[in-house]
Amino acid sequence: YIGSRISLISKSEIRYEGTLYTINTQESTVALQHVRSFGTEGRRNDGPQIQPSQEVYEYIIFRGADIKDLHVMDPSTAPAPAPAPPPAPAP
């Protein structure tokens, strides 16, 4: 899924979207590239809500322990389906 568009919600209820750059299993980290923060979007029940940011971050590295939810929005690295065979010539 490297290169896929990812939506990630941190333990502090902030949603981020970016391109999956790398996963480091030894350090339990996930790095996203070209990342936008969409704030808490009403998810936070206690404390102030965090507003979205217009800034696009080059890279953000998230520790696995800080990730509440992560899902693939656009599996751009998924294999493409095989092309259909050409039609048989008419007899």
> Who has greater pLDDT, 46 or 63?
63
pLDDT one-digit tens code per residue, 19-39: 999 999 999 999 999 999 999
Residue found by looking up tokens 């800034």 in the block: 55
Tokens encoding 67: 């990730």
Q: State the distance between the two ends of the chain, measured CA to CA, in whole angstroms.
A: 45
pLDDT one-digit tens code per residue, 47-90: 899 999 999 999 999 999 999 999 999 766 544 455 555 666 66
Residue found by looking up tokens 């080059």 in the block: 58
Residue found by looking up tokens 């009403």 in the block: 42
What is residue 85's predicted lDDT score, i.e. its pLDDT? 59
pLDDT one-digit tens code per residue, 10-21: 999 999 999 999
